[in-house]
Amino acid sequence: MKSLLLLVGICLWQPAHAASTSQCTDARGLAAEAATDTLTSWQTIYSVYERYHSCDDGGVAEGYSNGVVHLLATHWNKLPTLDALAKKHPPFREFVLSHIDATADTDELQEIVAFSKSQCRPSLTTLCKAIGRAAASAVQESNDVLHKP
């Protein structure tokens, strides 16, 4: 009987525990927003992504975008680190690419487009092309918004 109760307790605890780490509560949202101010390396971005990916909306999403784009524009030489993380964790690659968007600084997006064409190691060609396409699309979207009648 004790083992049955223990088993039921574990089964009830696991879904509740999983939900508490996968849902974006108000407290987690505030923590995620604060964490986006610390996005200074690919390891940090991955750590924040891993912890708060369920809060990827609104101001938090903008913070992710600013961090991703700024890091690409100012530390392009760190692309091998991103590539290694992206190969090990494919959903993280998609997260990064989705945050190269029109909410970020247009000048930095244009820098990324230029880097993706002129400063890409042969071993990173696939990632560079994906980043370049995302940045060019974001620049175009930003221009469309600016020139909308």
In a domain? residue 100: yes
Are 35 and 48 contacting, i.e. CB atoms less than 8 angstroms apart? yes
In a domain? residue 8: no
In a domain? residue 108: yes
pLDDT at 109 over 80: yes
pLDDT at 146 over 80: no
In a domain? residue 37: yes
- The structural domain count of the chain equals 1
Tokens of 63: 């913070």
In a domain? residue 5: no
Overall pTM surpassing 0.75 (yes/no): yes
Q: At what angle do helices 79-88 and 42-52 cross, to 10 degrees?
A: 30
Q: pLDDT tens-digit profile of 66-105?
A: 999 999 999 999 999 999 999 999 999 999 999 999 999 9
In a domain? residue 63: yes
In a domain? residue 3: no
Measured in degrees and rounded to the nearest 5, phi and psi for residue 119 equal -130, 55
Position 15 scores a pLDDT of 39
Q: What domain range includes position 133?
A: 24-146
Position 147 scores a pLDDT of 60
Q: pLDDT tens-digit profile of 9-52?
A: 433 333 333 444 579 999 999 999 999 999 999 999 999 999 99
Q: Which of 50 and 8 is assigned the larger pLDDT? A: 50
Stretch 131-138: mean pLDDT: 98
